[in-house]
Structure 1
Amino acid sequence: MQISKIGLKWSEFKQLIGTILRSSGIGTFIGMIPGAGGDISAFVAYNEAKRFSRNPEVFGEGALQGVAAPEASNNATTGGAMIPLLTLGIPGDAVTAVLLGAFMIQGLQPGPLLFQNNADVVYSLFIGMILANLLIIVFGLIGIRFFVKVLSVPKEYLTPIILVLCLIGAYALNNNVFDVWVMLGSGMIGYVMQRYGFPVSPIILALILGPMAESNLRRALVMSEGSYAIFFARPISLALLILAIITLFTPLIRTWWQSRRKNRSESNAL
């Protein structure tokens, strides 16, 4: 596969500004949540970009919004994960957990006093992140012509390689053959879902967030001695519940509003 040009036209980029800003905000917010990471933010940003798009049917066929949304969110997650690390000493993801260990090896304790006692380290970290993002752009533009060669590998060779790697990874995780069968069964379920048009992103998010939600639910109920009022008495948890309800009903309201406008326009035409 040969790339004829690199970059976007201004008209194309202008259409992506809203998607990039929205996805960056999503990535920053999810990055601040300990244990979330870039995978969750990428899927959430992709889903939101598809939900806000006027042409959601083009997603999965190379839509620019579908490419920009997860990449912008994934990049923003890195900066968002630094917020709880530097302010509270709580790593936001696996990368910041390693960075926390490096800080402690050097005798540095992340937290509010880090900005006061070791401001030079904090500013050096900020400058390093800015340079890293600039280098990503440079190496990305240089290497895109070579990276895209992966797409020219025939599926007859690529698919068996991926299958073998998946089998090895599933078995090596716990040295259990049952995990391999679970992986194969999940693959069949995924194929059926893709065959009949079911979205895969919610399933992946549920598998990632499910154990985290269950463990934190048990922890919260232990703290409240079994009372569910703790989720409504605290402003942060209440705000998150309201946002979840709004996110759940927004597509239904949007579909109802669009059908109403369509019926009204048809009535006016008659």
Structure 2
Amino acid sequence: MFEDLLGGFANVFTPIHIIMLFVGVFIGILGGAIPGISGTMLVVILLPVAYGLDPIPALLLLTAVYTTSVFSGSISAILFNTPGTPEAVATVFDGYEMTKKGKPGEALGVAIFSSATGGLIGCVFLIILTPVLASFALNFSSPEYFSLIFLALVIVSVLGGGSFVKGMIGVLIGLLIATVGLDSSSGVARFTFDVTGLRSGIDFVAVIIGLFALAEVLRKVQEDYFTKEKTASPKTKFPGLGLLNRLKRTIGQSSLLGFFIGILPGVGATSASLVSYSMSSSFSKDSKSFGTGIPEGVAAPESANNSAAMGAIVPLLALGIPGSATTAVILGAFIMNGVQPGPLLIEQQGILVYTIIGGLLLANISVIIFSKPFISIFSYILRAPYYIIGPMIVIFCFIGTYAVRNSMLDLVVMVIAGIIGYNLTKAKFPLAPMILGLVLGTMIEDHFRRALIISGGDFSIFFTRPISAVLLVLAFLSLLIPMFKWYRRRILDKKDKVLPGQ
């Protein structure tokens, strides 16, 4: 492990690797700060670029974009009350209030330091927990993998979209899309409708670009992101020793909380930042000050969301199960480049794994180094109207989708997915469960079939093997969470009805 760790960290500084890493850092910071361009969208747009690279530089590029975009959404949140990415929603509460008080530089400094610290703490736990989880997963065979993926899909349905029914429908739609094409076992064409291009399946890149990037453009063109107010370029001020001493507990607790929330499939950094903000507010001695413009209100969500981003990578590397929508796209990039994440990945390609982790460490450090000079530029870039940014994204969507398989059919799929994604977003339908269902659909089907072949068609194999049985029990217990919430709401509603009449 230590040899691979040292070798991986040294490998990061190979010229092509360090170049791709810093390109990813630049794109992540720049793109994440512009409202309407989320980290997921950036990773999706860059998938075709990654397809043309070797695995290590491709994955360094995408993971650097991922981790830095989670932070940079706070820049527009603090300066213009507009989160650049969903992960920065909670940062608005106190960040913009500090700007209105004439302290934008201090708010940005706290955001930069908290984000980098949370990301570095997350990286340390990533190094520690990934091999442990992977070693445990070496005991897995097809029944265990099926049960694990089933658990992940159930959790993302329950926790990932707000509505369990909508989350489950999204997962099932994703699984259905994954079945299109030739059956891997029998070679029989499924749901192809005699369209030759569909025999190789529906390309997940086209679907993801449509659902996320194109749909987001369609939604954003209805909103005016042109900032008319003239804001002077703020001078970023990093927190001094006194403020650091005051924030250290908030940053530490939020980083730990964010990391372990990030490990849960489908929950993501946005949920981690909101939960952390809520927890910090609840347990603070001065809880009433939250929302009025205090540094703790910026430090809590920013340290949590960057740590959660690192947490989401743990199940991706160790189990081959993505922890968020963005890591689901990165999982696709792994597979597209001929790398299969999972417990054997660390054993067989330890250098690659620790190169990626080393790149994540360096990317988080780069947040401190490069953010300050970029912020003065951002204050002007953020004023660009979306009718300039939007068409550029659409062009990249078409070029990127076509470049993967040189297929016109993929462009049609992307446009259809974009229209569907736009309408689903308007209906507040979660897209993350659908993406996870699509990415994991082939895997869960293959492991389900292999398990039945091993048992001779006996379904009891999923319940007689201890690990598989425990995972399935956890999955079924997770299904009870929506019922518990529904029952609890009914009890509270009855109490509210009784009280007025007393």
TM beyond 0.5: yes
Q: Match for 2:481 among 226, 231, 250? A: 250
Give the C-alpha shift of residue 192 in structure 1. 0.8
Q: Match for 1:44 among 239, 253, 267? A: 267
Structure 2 residue 410 is the aligned partner of structure 1 residue 179: yes
Write the distance in 1 (CA, Å) between the matches of 2:483 and 2:251.
Answer: 25
Q: Match for 2:311 among 62, 70, 76? A: 76
Write the distance in 2 (CA, Å) between the matches of 1:244 and 1:47.
Answer: 23
1:224–1:230 CA contact under 8 A, matched in 2: yes
1:221–1:227 CA contact under 8 A, matched in 2: yes
> Which range moved further: 148-157 or 245-254?
148-157
| Letter matched to residue 72 of structure 1 | S
Write the distance in 2 (CA, Å) between the matches of 1:259 and 1:53.
Answer: 27
1:20–1:69 CA contact under 8 A, matched in 2: yes
Write the distance in 2 (CA, Å) between the matches of 1:229 and 1:47.
Answer: 39
Give the C-alpha shift of residue 177 in structure 1. 0.7
Alignment match, 1:203:
434
Alignment match, 1:217:
448
Write the distance in 2 (CA, Å) between the matches of 1:188 and 1:130.
Answer: 34
Q: Secondary structure at the match of 2:267?
A: helix
Give the C-alpha shift of residue 45 in structure 1. 2.5
Cα gap change, 1:110 to 1:48, in 2 (>3 Å) = closer
| Letter matched to residue 217 of structure 1 | F
Q: Secondary structure at the match of 2:402?
A: helix
Structure 2 residue 362 is the aligned partner of structure 1 residue 132: yes
Write the distance in 1 (CA, Å) between the matches of 2:277 and 2:362.
Answer: 34
Q: Secondary structure at the match of 2:458?
A: coil
Give the C-alpha shift of residue 173 in structure 1. 1.5
| Letter matched to residue 395 of structure 2 | V
Give the C-alpha shift of residue 209 in structure 1. 1.9
| Letter matched to residue 267 of structure 2 | V
Give the C-alpha shift of residue 257 in structure 1. 0.5
| Greater length-normalized contact order (CA 8 Å, ≥ 6 residues apart) | 2
Q: Secondary structure at the match of 1:226?
A: coil
Structure-to-structure mapping, 1:65-144, within 5 angstroms: 71-78=306-313, 111=347, 132=362, 135-139=365-369, 141-142=371-372
Cα gap change, 1:144 to 1:129, in 2 (>3 Å) = same
Alignment match, 2:115:
none
Structure 2 residue 492 is the aligned partner of structure 1 residue 261: yes
Q: Secondary structure at the match of 1:152?
A: coil
Structure 2 residue 386 is the aligned partner of structure 1 residue 155: yes
Q: Match for 1:231 among 457, 462, 472? A: 462
Cα gap change, 1:14 to 1:51, in 2 (>3 Å) = same
Give the C-alpha shift of residue 205 in structure 1. 1.8
Q: Secondary structure at the match of 2:311?
A: helix
Write the distance in 2 (CA, Å) between the matches of 1:53 and 1:73.
Answer: 11
Give the C-alpha shift of residue 179 in structure 1. 0.8
Write the distance in 2 (CA, Å) between the matches of 1:202 and 1:82.
Answer: 19
Cα gap change, 1:208 to 1:259, in 2 (>3 Å) = same
1:170–1:183 CA contact under 8 A, matched in 2: yes
Given the two structures, how large is their TM-score scaled by the length of structure 1?
Answer: 0.62
Write the distance in 2 (CA, Å) between the matches of 1:47 and 1:209.
Answer: 22
Q: Which runs of 5+ in 1 are unaligned?
A: 31-40, 56-62, 86-91, 101-108, 115-120
Write the distance in 1 (CA, Å) between the matches of 2:495 and 2:248.
Answer: 34
Q: Which runs of 5+ in 2 are unaligned?
A: 1-75, 80-103, 112-242, 279-296, 321-329, 340-344
Write the distance in 1 (CA, Å) between the matches of 2:374 and 2:459.
Answer: 51
Cα gap change, 1:79 to 1:47, in 2 (>3 Å) = closer
Alignment match, 1:170:
401
1:47–1:201 CA contact under 8 A, matched in 2: no
Write the distance in 2 (CA, Å) between the matches of 1:130 and 1:166.
Answer: 26
Cα gap change, 1:211 to 1:21, in 2 (>3 Å) = farther
2:261–2:272 CA contact under 8 A, matched in 1: no
Give the C-alpha shift of residue 74 in structure 1. 2.1
1:26–1:45 CA contact under 8 A, matched in 2: yes
